[in-house]
């Protein structure tokens, strides 16, 4: 009998152009290459210096998302960039994509958005694929049962030139999540809880598969949130086996297999799931019923605490420094900690369900005095749908800013920044020192927690609002 | 890319754990379309205050940082984003080797592409170096060891990355040579 294989084993084996040896890494074929304005210029430069063509434009999709403005264009149709460099970078992407025949979702395109939101929306990200992008949150697409991971700019050039990458197979880790998440608890709380358990380098050297009843119960958007933050635990790739939820999400999407080809594709996708008895280098078990609304208190995504529990005492100099930077106190819970800014957005949490969750909490309420709130949809599609549902009116009536799609304040390279010394509660993925602007302090949380905090003016438990809704 | 075989240098030490790529190159510098001349962005917000003045007490502003070719850092160095600007900036700043007890996966894979050798030592050795910033260290890539104070510690590096660093070449040449295999794969998979 054949050796039982994991999802990762199957994905790897299907894409092996040449197996690895002692002297050489394996040559791995890449099905889909997503490119954006920040990490693609070096790849294009490499092609041009060497005089080689981009090998598979049909397997490449370009997206303007990182440096792009989130304010609307002027009446004359001019986009207001944060800097001339940012404008030049986006223009360079357009020029490069035109020259090499790459389909680009440029400013003004009706399906533009954050690359990790749009790929799945289009049905371009499919089970069984290898998907790479010069962006560490490429792990998001692993939610479809794809091997998806971030690469550097040199590797972007390698894929452009050869549609392949040199890779050694990683070790494997399975994170089993059993039980059901409580009411008001989201996938974001779950993944923050997981990172807190295994640590920011707990997944280093591993490809992670999330499994178990707690994962199977999640919809695709929630699965994407989980896989998205795999890199925050050190794992380049996170993945979830395709099932009926995956198939129904993909059915009818513009780049998914056509109706005639769909059923046989779906059958193949289901065969990717990890065989019984497949071996993993490491197994971790998580109880979903024990997950509370979870918020970070420090300067890496592993420094998390349940919202109503005391912030742990620091155990080393790095942690002491982090608490000092964040101006939080060990022994006190985060609930009630004052905030200045709220950011709902990013490839982690800017999809429909995220906006709906935030709007549910905010409906009929106001953003607290002195707090500034940005809501940045993940794509034009999300923006359109949210506006059709009237969610934008919930946010603007509350005093929040409803913006154009993009990465925005997650990494603050487009001019959307948190000022020095200010504290933001953010649905993004990184709370590093200065991530949202020099001297900015970031608390990572779910959309519901961020929205409840916006109303309270301090970190607030969204479950309290939900109870109020039920009583009413 | 300059070949790297063996070097002896003073060290710059940053003991913090989990130094992420946003510390190494803040995102606002990523609007460039060139990977050249990024040295000025390396640890920018550690080195300079809001007005652009050098911060006192930052090791990267000390004279030793101008001449050292080896950076020794706390565990899980280079975590966070995949920006290759991070190893590129360190290389352009003058580092040729980065030593830690653990280096994040993507940074570790990107570093050799920039001519920067990632060296992972065990925790005792790495923390000894962090506590002895005056140490002079020899790194021998051919033999795969680092040597300091008469102590020799072996390190592992992916053999092909080692080959590329020792010869100062990018792996693209090797990949391009696999064209027949790539074509055969595409025909098989179609």
- Would you call A23 and B160 a contact, using CB atoms and an 8 Å cutoff? yes
Whole-angstrom distance, CA of residue A350 vs CA of residue A115:
12
For residues A177-188, average pLDDT: 96
- Residue numbers in A near B182 (CB within 8 A): 17, 27, 29, 162-164
Task: Please tell me if residue B183 touches chain A, with a CB cutoff of 8 Å.
Answer: no
Yes or no: say if A73 and A79 are a contact pair by the CB < 8 Å rule.
yes
Whole-angstrom distance, CA of residue A39 vs CA of residue B85:
9
Phi and psi angles of residue B148, each rounded to the nearest 5 degrees, phi first: -155, 140
- DSSP one-letter string for A80-108: --SSHHHHHHHHHHHHHHHHHT-EEE-TT
- Residue numbers in B near A151 (CB within 8 A): 82, 106, 109
Measure B59 CA to nearest chain A CA, in Å.
16
Could you give the angle at the alpha carbon of B95 between the alpha carbons of B93 and B101, nearest 5°? 130
Query: β-pairing, B145-148 with B136-140?
Result: antiparallel
Task: Please tell me if residue A135 touches chain B, with a CB cutoff of 8 Å.
Answer: yes
Tell me the helix, strand and coil percentages in chain A, rounded to 5. Answer: 40, 20, 45
Q: Is the pLDDT of residue A93 over 70?
A: yes
- Residue numbers in B near A413 (CB within 8 A): 27-28, 30-31
Contacts of A382 (CB under 8 A, 6+ apart): A113, A117, A121, A350, A351, A352, A355, A405
CB atoms within 10 A of CB A384: 13
Paired tokens of A284? 């971790």
Among residues B45, B71, B40, the alpha carbon closest in space to that of B58 is found at: B45
| Most A CBs within 10 Å, among B26, B32, B33, B118, to test the A interface | B33
Closest alpha carbon within chain B to A29: B182
Based on C-alpha coordinates, what's the Rg of chain B? 18
Q: Residue A101: which pLDDT band, with cuts at 50, 70 and 90?
A: very high
- Residue numbers in A near B35 (CB within 8 A): 42, 153
Yes or no: say if A67 and A37 are a contact pair by the CB < 8 Å rule.
yes
Q: Is the dihedral of CA A340, A345, A349, A351 positive or negative?
A: positive
Closest alpha carbon within chain A to B30: A38
CB atoms within 10 A of CB A95: 11
Measure A390 CA to nearest chain B CA, in Å.
33
Exposed, middle or buried by CB within 10 Å (0-12, 13-18, 19+), for A338? middle
Yes or no: say if A97 and A112 are a contact pair by the CB < 8 Å rule.
no
Query: β-pairing, B97-100 with B117-120?
Result: parallel
- pLDDT at position A2 is 82
**Percent of chain A whose pLDDT exceeds 90:** 97
- pLDDT at position A435 is 98
Q: Residue A472: which pLDDT band, with cuts at 50, 70 and 90?
A: very low
Q: Is the pLDDT of residue A113 over 70?
A: yes
Element (H, E) at A425: strand A423-426
CB atoms within 10 A of CB B188: 9
Whole-angstrom distance, CA of residue A50 vs CA of residue A218:
46
Q: Count CA atoms within 13 Å of residue A77 on its CB side.
A: 3
Which ipTM was obtained for this model? 0.97
Which tens digits make up the pLDDT trace of A258-317?
999 999 999 999 999 999 999 999 999 999 999 999 999 999 999 999 999 999 999 998
Which tens digits make up the pLDDT trace of A9-42?
999 999 999 999 999 999 999 999 999 999 999 9
- Would you call B34 and A300 a contact, using CB atoms and an 8 Å cutoff? no
Q: Is the pLDDT of residue A255 over 60?
A: yes
Nearest to A154 among B84, B181, B189 (CB): B84
- Would you call A24 and B159 a contact, using CB atoms and an 8 Å cutoff? yes
Task: Please tell me if residue B96 touches chain A, with a CB cutoff of 8 Å.
Answer: no
- pLDDT at position A466 is 56
Whole-angstrom distance, CA of residue A154 vs CA of residue A171:
24
- Would you call A41 and B182 a contact, using CB atoms and an 8 Å cutoff? no
Paired tokens of A120? 């799945």
Q: How many CB pairs under 8 A join A and B?
A: 175
For residues A46-53, average pLDDT: 96
- Would you call A27 and B182 a contact, using CB atoms and an 8 Å cutoff? yes
Among residues A40, A37, A16, A43, the alpha carbon closest in space to that of A28 is found at: A16
Write out chain B's pLDDT in tens, 190 residues.
889 999 999 999 999 999 999 999 999 999 999 999 999 999 999 999 999 999 999 999 999 999 999 999 999 999 999 999 999 999 999 999 999 999 999 999 999 999 999 999 999 999 999 999 999 999 999 999 999 999 999 999 999 999 999 999 999 999 999 999 999 999 999 8
Query: β-pairing, B97-100 with B136-140?
Result: unpaired
Nearest to B22 among A86, A150, A430 (CB): A430
Q: Is the pLDDT of residue A471 over 60?
A: no
Paired tokens of A375? 């809501």
- Would you call A411 and B105 a contact, using CB atoms and an 8 Å cutoff? no
DSSP assignment letter at A333: B
Among residues B2, B4, B1, the alpha carbon closest in space to that of B144 is found at: B4
Paired tokens of A428? 């993004």
């Amino acid at each position: 009998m054949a050796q039982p294989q994991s999802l990762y084993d199957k994905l790897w084996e299907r894409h092996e152009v040449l197996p690895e040896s002692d002297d050489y890494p394996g040559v791995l074929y890449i099905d889909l290459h997503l490119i954006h304005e920040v990490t693609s210029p070096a790849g294009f430069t490499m092609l041009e210096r060497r005089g080689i063509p981009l090998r598979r434009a049909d397997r490449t999709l370009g997206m303007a998302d990182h440096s792009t403005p989130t304010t609307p264009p002027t009446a004359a149709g001019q986009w207001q960039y944060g800097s001339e460099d940012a404008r030049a970078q986006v223009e360079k992407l357009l020029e490069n994509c035109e020259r090499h025949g790459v389909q680009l979702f440029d400013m003004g395109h009706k399906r533009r958005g954050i690359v990790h939101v749009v790929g799945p929306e289009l049905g371009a990200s499919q089970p069984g694929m290898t998907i790479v992008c010069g962006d560490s949150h490429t792990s998001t697409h692993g939610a479809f049962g794809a091997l998806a991971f971030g690469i550097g700019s040199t590797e972007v050039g390698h894929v452009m030139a050869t549609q392949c990458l040199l890779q050694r197979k990683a070790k494997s880790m399975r994170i089993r999540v059993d039980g059901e998440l409580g009411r008001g608890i989201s996938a974001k709380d779950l993944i923050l809880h997981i990172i807190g358990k295994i640590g920011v380098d707990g997944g280093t050297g591993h490809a992670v598969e999330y499994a178990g009843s707690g994962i199977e119960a999640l919809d695709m958007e929630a699965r994407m949130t989980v896989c998205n933050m795999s890199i925050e635990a050190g794992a380049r790739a996170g993945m979830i086996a395709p099932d009926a939820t995956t198939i129904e999400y993909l059915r009818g999407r513009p780049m998914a297999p056509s109706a005639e080809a769909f059923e046989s594709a779906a059958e193949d996708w289901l065969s990717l799931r990890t065989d019984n008895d497949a071996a993993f280098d490491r197994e971790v078990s998580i109880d979903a019923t024990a997950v509370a609304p979870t918020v970070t208190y420090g300067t890496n995504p592993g420094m998390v605490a349940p919202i109503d529990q005391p912030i742990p005492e620091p155990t080393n100099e790095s942690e002491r420094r982090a608490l000092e930077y964040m101006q939080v106190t060990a022994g006190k819970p985060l609930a009630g900690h004052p905030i200045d800014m709220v950011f709902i957005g990013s490839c982690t949490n800017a999809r429909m369900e995220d906006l709906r969750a935030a709007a549910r909490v905010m409906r009929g309420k106001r953003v607290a005095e002195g707090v500034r709130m940005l809501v940045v949809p993940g794509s034009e599609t999300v923006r359109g749908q949210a506006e059709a549902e009237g969610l934008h009116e919930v946010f603007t009536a509350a005093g929040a800013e409803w913006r154009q799609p993009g990465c925005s304040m997650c990494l603050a390279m487009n001019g959307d920044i948190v000022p020095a010394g200010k504290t933001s509660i953010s649905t993004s993925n990184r709370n590093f020192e200065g991530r949202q602007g020099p001297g900015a302090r970031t608390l990572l949380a779910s959309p519901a927690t961020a929205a409840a905090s916006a109303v309270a003016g301090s970190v607030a438990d969204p479950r309290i609002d939900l109870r109020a809704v039920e009583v009413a | 890319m300059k070949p790297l075989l063996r070097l002896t240098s003073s060290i710059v030490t940053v003991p913090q754990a989990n130094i992420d790529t946003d510390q190494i190159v803040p995102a606002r510098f990523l609007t460039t379309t060139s990977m050249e001349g990024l040295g000025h962005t390396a640890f920018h917000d550690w080195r300079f205050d809001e007005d652009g003045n050098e911060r006192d007490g930052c090791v990267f502003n000390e004279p030793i940082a101008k001449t050292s070719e080896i950076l020794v850092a706390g565990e899980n160095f280079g975590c966070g984003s995949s920006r290759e600007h991070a190893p590129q900036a360190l290389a352009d700043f003058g580092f040729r080797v980065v030593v830690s007890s653990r280096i994040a996966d993507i940074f570790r894979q990107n570093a050799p592409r920039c001519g920067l050798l990632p060296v992972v030592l065990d925790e005792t050795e790495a923390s000894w170096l962090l506590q002895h910033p005056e140490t002079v260290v020899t790194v021998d890539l051919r033999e795969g060891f680092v040597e300091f104070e008469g102590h020799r510690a072996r390190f592992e590096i992916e053999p092909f990355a080692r080959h590329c660093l020792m010869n100062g070449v990018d792996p693209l040449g090797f990949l391009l040579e696999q064209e027949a295999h790539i074509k055969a794969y595409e025909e098989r998979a179609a």
